Structure 1
Amino acid sequence: MQDEITNIASTLEKVLDAWDSDAKEERDSIKHHATRLLSETRARLNGHNRLQQATRDAAHHTDEWVHNKPWHSIGLGAAAGVIVGALLTRK
Structure 2
Amino acid sequence: MNAAGIAKEKEQLLDDVRQVLASTEELIDATADDGSQQSRELRKRLADKLSVAKVRLIDAEQAVVGKAKEAAKATDQYVHENPWKSIGIAAGVGFLLGMLVSRR
- Specify the TM-score bucket, using the shorter chain as the normaliser: 0.5 to 0.7
For the pair shown, which has the larger CA radius of gyration, 1 or 2? 1
Q: What residue ranges of structure 2 are gaps of 5+ in the alignment? A: 1-17
Q: State the identity as a percent.
A: 27
Q: Which has the higher contact order (CA 8 A, sep 6+)?
A: 2
Structure-1-length-normalised TM-score: 0.65
Structure-2-length-normalised TM-score: 0.58
Q: 1:79 Cα shift?
A: 0.5
After TM superposition, the structure 1 = structure 2 runs for residues 58-69 of structure 1, keeping only pairs within 5 Å, are 58-69=71-82
Q: What residue ranges of structure 1 are gaps of 5+ in the alignment? A: 15-22
The residue number in structure 1 matching 2:60 is 47
The residue number in structure 2 matching 1:35 is 48
Structure 1 segments, 4+ long, off by >4 Å, are: 25-31
Give, as a single letter, the amino acid of the residue that structure 1 aligns with 2:76. Answer: D
RMSD of aligned alpha carbons:
2.6
